[in-house]
Amino acid sequence: MRPDRSILRQLLAMDDAQLRLLIGRIASQAGVDISGADLSAESLAAMRRAVDSASDEELEAVMGEFLGGSKK
């Protein structure tokens, strides 16, 4: 699955509360338990920086790990 950078940037441009809600919904739909995830403002800022500087291959790897992560 190739990441769509324009969509990722739009998603990451959401305010922190909206982004937390979206991440929770996506994780729930994927059956991934993120109850222990750090979704603090600092963590979300770091995620935004990481996505902005990551290569497509790196993003694909992270997406695969997330979607194949710890299932409920």
pLDDT along the chain (72 residues), means of 10: 81 95 92 93 94 90 70 46
Residue type, 15: D
Using alpha carbons, select from 67, 58, 7, 62 the residue that is nearest to residue 33.
Answer: 67
Interacting residues of 11 by C-beta distance below 8 A, sequence separation 6+: 19, 22
Q: How far is CA 13 from CA 25, 26, 41, 72, in A?
A: 17, 17, 13, 28
pTM as predicted: 0.71
